[in-house]
Structure 1
Amino acid sequence: MGLMTFLRNRAGYILIGAIGFAIVAFLVGDAINVGKPFWAESQKVVGSIDGEEINIDQFGPKVDQSLAQFKQQYGGSGNAQMQAMAVDNVWQGEVANVLLGKEYTRLGLTVSAQESFDLVQGPKPSPLIVQYFGNPQTGEFDRNQVIKVFKEGLKDPKMKPQLLAIEAEIIKQTLQIKYTNLIRNSVYVTSLEANDEYVGRNKVANFKYVGLDFASVPDASVKLTDADYSDFYDKNKKRFENPTETRTFEYVSFSVNPTKEDSAAVKAQIEKLAVDFRTAANDSLFAAVNSDVKVPFVYINKGKLDPAVDSAVFNLPAGSFYGPAFSGTSYKLVKVVSTRFSPDSVKASHILLDASKMGGVDVARKMADSLKTLVQKGASFAALALQYSVDGSKDKGGEMPAFARGQMVPEFENAAFDGSVGDLKVVTSQFGVHLMKIEKQIGSSKVAKLAYIEKNLESSNKTKDAAYKKASTFLSEVKDGNFAELAQKKGYTVAVADKITPTQGFAPGLDNPRQLIRDAYNADQGDVLDQVYQMDNAFVIARVTAIRPKGTLPLEAVKKDIEPMVRNAVKSRMLKEKMDQALQGAANINQVAQKLGKPVMPVQNIVFASPIVPGASQENKLVGTVFGSQPGKLSKSIEGDAGVYAFVVDGFGNPAPLANTYKQKETMMQTTAQRALGAAFQALQDKSKIKDNRVKFY
């Protein structure tokens, strides 16, 4: 009541203050960015890198472009993980651009105007120019064409930004190469280091040891104290550096996978389609309208369909029906419209005419017909290609590498595979008008033209509604403290997504978790997220259980994780005391083994660079101590990663002297230089203030 009275009594002051703030905000906003309040820009900041803000208006389109490239590379429509990869790819690029840009300036690295010109139009251009302007089949490029494109394009308002962007990217890549070379050339390996590396990989040790395994001490017999945890934590603080903030959440999934009733409904639907399909007037149109998966109505080779369908369909004659049949997650229904034998690949030559520069397709086709007549009368196809073609293959007389089905645009492909060797064909495609000459047809195999229907087995609305109702009921009943208890009471399984980073595109058991992760980063530890999250096959309710900030994690945050290691540390102390007692008064390794009731384990030909001990896995401390010991001398107790050991060295086998020190140094320098490059960039990041707000946008 006191608060309400306060607000009522001061409503006038609050209203005046709010109006005053709005006016100031508008005026300041107008001064900064006409028509926008000053806080609007801060809401667009994806992050800041060493004082430079990254705005979503510039960042977003780069993410879209990166995502499009990933889709092209990996296929598909782009899932949450691919989106996260695209966002991370662009962010890392922004970090590199800012930090390396400042480093280039500090070091005085530049690309001169002449150097930039040579990289674009010179005889040895940038790989980027070759990529953009080269022939995709041969990798060769026409330098005169590049010069022409840049000369004309820089005058064109539409092309100029694209060409300037290419030049900027070339300069950036060149600076990166210079910086990389600078780092690599600063690395040096001495002859002594080369020799040590050689000896470490080739000198062998033979020894005997006695071991007391941690596994020999039952876990239940080890009582851990706070001092044990603190001691281990203090000695291993570097292990607990958290490079980025993470969240852990527990969740319950409510499945929306198809039920038996859903399966029966889809089966009934596909059976009805099968009846109608047999009498359809237009097979391909009927399939295109009714199929969930579109298969082009063209001749295809065996091996393009689901294996179960493929093997059956290609054994059927034209006019046959296949299905309905269930495989994978869908029902298939296929009509074999026609079959025939067709070349496996075709080798052709072509002359490409640019219709847009010739007054239209009709003019270009007339020109192609004229060239066809000239060839039929004995004119050289290669000479005409060199004179008239706008394709990079013109320098080779229009000759193209052999291609299989699916590698060319449909119009060009159909003409090449449907014709005969020696045919001249005029073909119009998205690239222009082609005069094609079929040079050679290679191989022969069966192809089929299919009317193809596929119906996915999906959940009904009834199934989805029932799952959503369960999830909503659970959300309304659950409290921050009784999440797991209530789930157990209702018979639901609680899953855990541990140490999820802000930009992560995946989480265990969740196929589309980005919104959930974003909300988890806006919640406090213990909060139940107040939303039902829809995944591809489930509804999810989640609760944040742990927040791990960036930096050195406190003991309480890692206590549960380090418990097995702390227990082994206590076991190590216990077993070391036992080993030390056995070593007292012992003259040799056999006496130690006898006191402990353990066998003596002989080990042959162990190298320093590969510290794998048979029967004890990888034991760095044990092997390192062996190579620093004298033969015949009984060691002290050694605390390893899996147990406590005592040993005696039988002897060492030294390798032949290093024959080629130069080659050894070169090999080591390559490895060291690569590590140095990564370390240099990491050092730049460590010394910079980087604020990452991506989780607010993606």
Structure 2
Amino acid sequence: MGLMTFLRNRAGFILIGFIGFAIVAFLLSDAIKVGKPFWADSQRVVGSVDGQEIGIEEFGKKVEQSEAQFKQQYGGSSNPQMQAMAVENVWNGEVANILLAKEYGRIGLTVSGDELYDLLQGKNPSPLIAQYFGNPQTGQVDRAAVINSLKQSSKNPQLKSQWDLLQAEIEKQALQKKYGNLIKNSVYVTTIEANDEYQNRNKLAKFDYVNLDYASIADATLKLSESDYSDYYNEHKNLFDNPAETRSFEYVSFSVNPTKEDSAAVKNQIEKLAVDFKTAKNDSLFSAINSDVKVPYVYLSKGKLDKAVDSAVFALPAGSFYGPKLSGNSYKLVKVVDTRFSPDSVKASHILIDAAKVGGTDKAVKLADSLKGLVEKGTSLASLAAQYSSDPGSKDKGGELGTFARGQMVPEFENAAFNGKAGDLKVVRSQYGVHLIKIEKQVGSSKVAKLAYIEKNLTSSSKTKDAAYKKATGFLNEAKGDNFSSLAQKKGYTVGVADKVTASQGYAPGLDNPRPLIKDAYAAAKGDVLGQVYQMENAFVVARLTDIKPKGLLPLESVKKDIEPMVRQAVKAKTLTEKLNNALKGAGNLNQVAQKVGKQVVPVENIVFGNPVLPGVGQENKLIGTVFGSAVNKVSSPVAGDHGVYAFTVAAFTNPAPLANTYKQKETMLLSVGQRALGSAFQALQDKSKIKDNRVKFY
């Protein structure tokens, strides 16, 4: 694949990763001259990293690029979740670019001219060069194609711009690799650590235990005191360091899903359409005008339609009519215009002639016909492509397009390639110009069908939407900060909860388009009913902000409700520990302890430290850790675990054979440690930087 084809498909990713972009800034003096207030610049700043601002213009362009790439990758149309992913992707990229660029400068990390030359056209090409100029069969880079493209870039400003972009990305990747290697090479694993890891994963423990389950104490019997809460909070303060501000809200949804009357109206409409569709003179035009879902009027292979109708339609002969069929949330009508057997894929080459450059379409067709004649007489299409083709993605490869399936080319090109036979030369027009196509090879054969397709969605009527909106506005007018939940309950509405939502979050439980609501929630005060009705795909929503958790160490009052289950468990642990301690007094063995507390001794074996799971119970880190630090044949003190309080006696340990290959063990551990180190290093850069995030003002 050539550079321009690469750009067409991948430019969005490169733009996102590109280090160093121009930020539009207005000087204060200029602002004063034109009468603009001094704070207006802040309205154009998405955020900043250590004082380096990220402007909305460039940031917005990159978000659009990223969103387009997500659409291409995942299919379908854009949605709030996809946009949120794009915004998050670009933001993380911008923060990383700024922080890493500063770090590279601080430690003097660069890519020399010789290194860059080697990465572009030397013996050690960048993975990007290998990807876009490499032979798929051999994996070898076509250096001649690289050099030729670089030479052409000196005469082609657009190609030069793209090479600049690619070179910047290659340089960035090289710097990232160097930085990553520096971090990874700074960590090591000692022989002691290697042996410990081996023991942790292979040493076996056999022990007996008695368990007093937390579930044996009913929650209703506990009365938690303030000291219970403060004790737990003080012992676990590290858990309450909030990395980013979050907000919580409650909401009521008013559904606008189609009613029975709406469904009946759509059914009536599709039945009338079916009558007209059967007799329509222009099938493609009729379906294009009347369908809510546009299916191309081309030959389709089996598996492209809704599963409920696909098999039925492909079993029908040409001239058949199918439907109306209700499937999912829509009715389908299909007219089978034609069927045939066709190749599954085609390998082809082409020469693309730009009509604008040769004086119009007629002249382009004449030129294509002339080139066709030359090829028929033995001239190489590859040599003609290099001279005449306007497609930079294929001309440097002799016009080769590789192998493609149906749906990957424009209809005119696809029809010519799939309807001919191997060896054919065809001249066709498309939106890109005039093509001389050579069909190199056709692979496989399966049934395809040309279909005129109509799909009508079950949608809500304006009457249904108006009724839902009226209910929502009525509730909004009545709801106050202190009566939101009680009013909803009184009216029989269900209250939903979205807890700990970040400013950039693109999703919320039960809401398909939450961004406008989240933006307003971040501009509201705790307890406020948000001042508008929010429209989701199938509902109107009214919401109230219930909680704000700022960034940093959260106070006890802010987390009190969240930690209540853990505090309750801690109180139970104290009670059960005391009970077990009383049973341990005077007991000579674990059976006597079990008898005192009315429990049975449970034997377990083949337990390893590296997988601290107690069979039939679950993960018990503290218990298993204590077991491996205990002496054999000694009754333990109580251990408060995740599921209960335990007393145990170790019966035996089985040591593994000595570690035969310490080097291999170290190498395996280094791989994991190195990866963690790189992430930790970048997290440290963020922690020590002043990052201001204003995305919620824009998205």
- The TM-score, its normalising length taken from structure 2, stands at 0.91
Aligned to 2:535: 534
Residues 143 and 356 from structure 1, CA distance in 2 versus in 1: closer, same or farther, beyond 3 angstroms? farther
Higher deviation after alignment, 324-333 or 401-410: 401-410
Task: Tell me, yes or no, if the aligned pair for 1:141 and 1:392 is still in contact at 8 Å.
Answer: no
Shift of 1:221: 1.7
SS in structure 1 of the partner of residue 527 of structure 2? coil
Paired with 1:350 and 1:153, the residues of 2 have a C-alpha distance of 22
* Residue number in structure 2 paired with 1:617: 618
Q: Which moved more, 1:115-124 or 1:552-561?
A: 115-124
2:275 corresponds to 1:247: no
How far apart are residue 151 of structure 1 and its match?
4.5
Find the counterpart in structure 2 of residue 554 from structure 1.
555
**Aligned partner of 1:648: which letter?**
T
Query: Which AA in structure 1 matches 2:608?
Result: V
When residues 525 and 385 of structure 1 are mapped into structure 2, their CA distance, relative to the original with a 3 A threshold, is closer
Counterpart in the other structure of 1:193: 193
| Whole-angstrom CA distance in 1 between matches of 2:364 and 2:238 | 71
Q: Secondary structure at the match of 1:511?
A: coil
Question: Is this contact kept in 2: 1:123–1:143, CA < 8 A?
Answer: no
1:315 counterpart = 2:315:
yes
Deviation at 1:116, TM superposition (A): 2.9
Structure 1: runs of 5+ lacking an equivalent: 1-25
Cross-structure match for 1:484: 485
Q: 1:257 to 1:370 in 2, by over 3 A?
A: same
Q: When the two structures are superposed, what TM-score results if normalisation uses the length of structure 1? A: 0.91
In the aligned structure 1, how far is the partner of 2:361 from the partner of 2:147?
Answer: 27
Could you tell me how far 1:659 is from its partner in structure 2?
Answer: 1.4
Quick one: distance in 1 between partners of 2:62 and 2:554? 34
Question: One-letter code of the match for 1:522?
Answer: A
Note the alpha carbon deviations across 1:470-505, whole angstroms, 9 max, x for none.
111111111111001111111111111111100111
**What's the CA shift for 1:158?**
5.2
Counterpart residue type for residue 211 of structure 1: N
1:290 matched to 2:262? The reply is no
- Distance in 2 between residues matched to 1:592 and 1:682, nearest whole Å: 49
The count of residues paired between Structure 1 and Structure 2 equals: 673
Q: Could you say what the CA RMSD is over the residues aligned between the two structures, in angstroms?
A: 2.6
Aligned 1:667-682 pairs, distance under 5 A:
667-682=668-683
Q: Distance in 2 between matches of 1:592 and 1:207?
A: 15
Deviation digits for residues 655-684 of structure 1, max 9, x if unmatched?
Answer: 111111111111100100000000000011
Q: Distance in 2 between matches of 1:247 and 1:27?
A: 35
Which residues in structure 2 correspond to 1:4-23 (within 5 Å)? none
The 10-residue stretch of structure 1 (121-130 or 559-568) with the greater mean CA deviation from structure 2: 121-130
Which amino acid in structure 2 is aligned with residue 216 of structure 1? S
Q: Which amino acid in the other structure matches residue 227 of structure 1?
A: S
Q: Which amino acid aligns with 2:495?
A: V
8 Å Cα contact 1:29-1:36 kept in structure 2: no
1:316-346 Cα offsets, whole Å, 9 max, x none, are 2211111111111111111111112222233
Q: What is the CA distance between 1:120 and its match in structure 2?
A: 3.1
The 5-angstrom pairing of residues 269-668 of structure 1 reads: 269-350=269-350, 362-377=362-377, 401-429=402-430, 433-668=434-669
1:183 maps to 183
Percent identical pairs in the alignment equals 72
- Cα separation, partners in 2 of 1:29 and 1:384, compared to 1, 3 Å: closer
One-letter amino acid of the counterpart of residue 499, structure 1: K
**CA shift for structure 1 position 51:** 1.7
Aligned counterparts, 1:151-170, within 5 A: 151-153=151-153, 160-170=160-170
Higher deviation after alignment, 421-430 or 594-603: 421-430
Offset at 1:72? 1.3
Q: Which moved more, 1:265-274 or 1:128-137?
A: 128-137
Find the residue that maps to 1:43 and give its secondary structure.
Answer: helix
Partners in 1 of 2:430 and 2:122 — Cα distance?
Answer: 33
CA drift at 1:631: 1.3
Once the two structures are superposed, residues 74-128 of structure 1 have per-residue CA deviations (whole angstroms, 9 ceiling, x without a partner) of: 1222111111111111111111111111111111101223333443344543333
Q: Counterpart in 2 of 1:40?
A: 40
**500-509 or 129-138, which deviates more:** 129-138
Aligned match of 1:84: 84
CA distance in structure 1 between the partners assigned to 2:546 and 2:326 by the alignment: 42
Determine if contact 2:324/2:333 at 8 Å carries over to the other structure. yes
CA distance in 1 between partners of 2:251 and 2:215 (Å): 34
Say if 2:577 and 2:640, in contact at 8 Å, map to a contact too.
yes
Q: Which amino acid aligns with 1:176?
A: Q
Q: Which amino acid aligns with 1:427?
A: V
1: distance between equivalents of 2:36 and 2:698? 20
Greater Cα shift, 117-126 or 263-272: 117-126
Structure 1 counterpart SS, 2:526: coil
Query: Do the aligned partners of residues 492 and 557 (structure 1) sit closer, same or farther apart at CA in structure 2, a change above 3 Å counting?
Result: same
Q: What does 1:101-120 correspond to in 2, within 5 Å?
A: 101-120=101-120
SS across alignment from 2:427: strand
Q: 1:351 to 1:123 in 2, by over 3 A?
A: farther
Q: 1:148 to 1:351 in 2, by over 3 A?
A: same
Shift of 1:532: 0.7
CA distance in 2, matches of 1:568, 1:423: 78
**One-letter code of the match for 1:228?**
D
Seen in structure 2, the aligned counterparts of structure 1 residues 32 and 656 have a Cα distance that, compared at 3 Å, is farther
Range with greater deviation from structure 2 (229-238 or 346-355): 346-355
> Distance in 1 between the 2:472 and 2:236 partners?
43
Q: Given that residues 134 and 141 in structure 1 are in contact (C-alpha distance below 8 angstroms), is that contact kept between their aligned partners in structure 2? A: yes
- Aligned-partner Cα distance in 2 for 1:360–1:147: 32
Classify the secondary structure of the residue corresponding to 1:510: coil
Judged with a 3 Å threshold, the aligned counterparts in structure 2 of structure 1 residues 235 and 200 are, in CA distance, closer, same or farther, namely same
Residues 620 and 640 in structure 1, CA contact (< 8 A), matched pair in contact too: yes
Residue range with higher mean Cα deviation, 388-397 or 272-281: 388-397
Q: Deviations along 1:374-418, whole A, 9 cap, x unmatched? A: 444455667766787667767877666443222333223211221
Structure showing greater radius of gyration is 1
The answer to whether the 8 A contact 1:582-1:596 is kept is yes
Q: Distance in 2 between matches of 1:692 and 1:165?
A: 27
Q: Distance in 2 between matches of 1:207 and 1:677?
A: 40
CA distance, structure 1, for counterparts of residue 167 and residue 382 of structure 2 = 34
Which secondary structure state, in structure 1, belongs to the residue aligned with residue 481 of structure 2?
coil
Equivalent-residue separation in structure 2 for 1:34 and 1:123 (angstroms): 56
Whichever residue aligns with residue 79 of structure 1, its letter is N
